[in-house]
Amino acid sequence: MEQSQITLQLNHDGRSGEIDLDFQEENDSTIEIRFVDRLYDNSGTIRLVDGEMSNAVITTGMPYAGVLADSEAYKQYFDSILSRFSHAFPLSQSNDLEQVIIHDEDYPKGNPDTDGDSKEIELRSVQATLIDELADPGKCVIAGCANGELVRQCRRQGIDAHGFDGMPNLKEIAYEEVRDFVRVGSLTQIPYDASDGFETLIAVDVLEHMPEQDIPKMVEEWTRIGVKKLVLLINMNQAWFPGHVSLRPVTWWASQWKSCFTLSQTVRKDDSLGQTFSNTSSYSQQWTFWERVLM
């Protein structure tokens, strides 16, 4: 299956089978999940409005019969399916912190984002080009920079890029040429301040890892360090990745910082950049450019 699809093993009422889930591209304020239920020979869609599990609307190709003809049994059946990935679609400030993946000093081992993988280098080089074209970023800070590959590629293209990441051994695993430009920190404790003069903050595949209850503090940090632009690549629907705890449509994200930043541009795909545009083109990721609201 493509990366937008997963198969879950089901056991229900003494029966065993599978359900295929196909996560569609985020569309305005709705995320749609198409399903084929091989256990009960049915199919349909699950629609999440604003990415809320509590707003799930289930449509089936035909009515369920037998034990699932009972409305309560039907509800429990689909609740059991939704619960398999519901940590990714927050229930109004209810992210379970135990679901959050905290990267420690062992994270870099064997990870293509940290070990000089040739495809990763190509990807970050293209991303640096896109950032430059999209935002004219000036002096910028990259959140979740890992070993600094994106920092390195930005600096190679003449961008005054710096970065931070939560790994305690960041200085040891970062590329030598960028060690003076990276610090240990997080989006809720950015290790810089307004005097550092950053114009742009960049976060690539980071925000979907943020517990929802931490987002107000994150926005406070953006304003504290005085950035005037944001370049954010946000994953919208990859629920099966365990570190993704906040999957929401762009409209929802925009509402979280509407008093501070406004969306200026969204880029879903650039044919000239090919498969290196982002990690993959098979699920919903959008490059978004935001500008500071003038007070």
pLDDT classification of 72: cutoffs 50, 70, 90: very high
Query: What is the structure's pLDDT at 3?
Result: 54
Question: What is the average pLDDT score of the chain?
Answer: 83
Query: What is the structure's pLDDT at 100?
Result: 39
Query: What is the structure's pLDDT at 32?
Result: 86
Which tokens belong to 204? 């690539």
Helix (H) or strand (E) segment spanning residue 229: strand 229-235
The domain ranges of the chain are 5-84, 98-292
As assigned by CATH, the class of the 98-292 domain is alpha beta
Which DSSP string do the residues of 36-80 spell out, in sequence order?
A: EETTTTEEEEEEEETT-GGGEEEEESS---GGGGSHHHHHHHHHH
248: Cβ contacts below 8 Å, ≥ 6 apart: 50, 51, 89, 90, 236
Q: By the 8 A CB rule, do 124 and 153 touch?
A: yes
Question: If we measure between CA atoms, which residue out of 164, 169, 226, 168 comes closest to residue 191?
Answer: 164
Query: What is the structure's pLDDT at 1?
Result: 41
- List C-alpha distances in Å: 96 to 90, 101, 238, 246, 270: 9, 11, 18, 11, 36
Which tokens belong to 182? 């990276």
Over pLDDT 90: what percentage of the chain?
52
Place of tokens 């919903």: 284
Which tokens belong to 161? 């890029």
Tell me the whole-structure pTM to 2 decimals.
Answer: 0.77
pLDDT per residue as tens digits for the range 225-258: 999 999 999 888 777 776 888 888 888 899 999 9
Query: What is the structure's pLDDT at 50?
Result: 74
pLDDT per residue as tens digits for the range 258-279: 999 999 988 766 666 655 555 4
